[in-house]
Amino acid sequence: MKLTEEVVTGDITRINLDGRLDIDGTQAIDQQFSYLTTARQGRYAVDLSRVSFIASIGIRMLLTAAPAQANRGGKLVLVGPDPMGRKVLETAGVDQLVPIAADLDGARGLLAAA
Per-residue pLDDT of 58-113, as tens digits, reads 999 999 999 999 899 999 999 999 999 999 999 999 999 999 999 999 999 999 87
Residue 86: name the closest of 103, 64, 69 by CA. 103
Q: Domain spanning 2-112: which superfamily?
A: STAS domain (3.30.750.24)
Q: What is the pTM of this model?
A: 0.94
pLDDT digits (tens, 9 = 90+) for 20-63: 999 999 999 999 999 999 888 999 999 999 999 999 999 999 99
> How many helical (H) and strand (E) elements, i.e. helices and strands, does the chain have?
4, 5
Domain ranges of the chain: 2-112
- CB-based contacts of 12, cutoff 8 Å, min separation 6: 43, 44, 45, 107, 108, 111
For residue 75, the number of C-alpha atoms closer than 13 Å in the C-beta half-sphere is: 17
Number of other residues whose CB lies within 10 A of the CB of residue 68: 15
Per-position b or e across 85-105, b if 16+ CB within 10 A of its CB: bbebbeebebeeebbbbeebe
Measured over the CA atoms of residue 12, residue 13, residue 18 and residue 20, the dihedral's sign is: negative
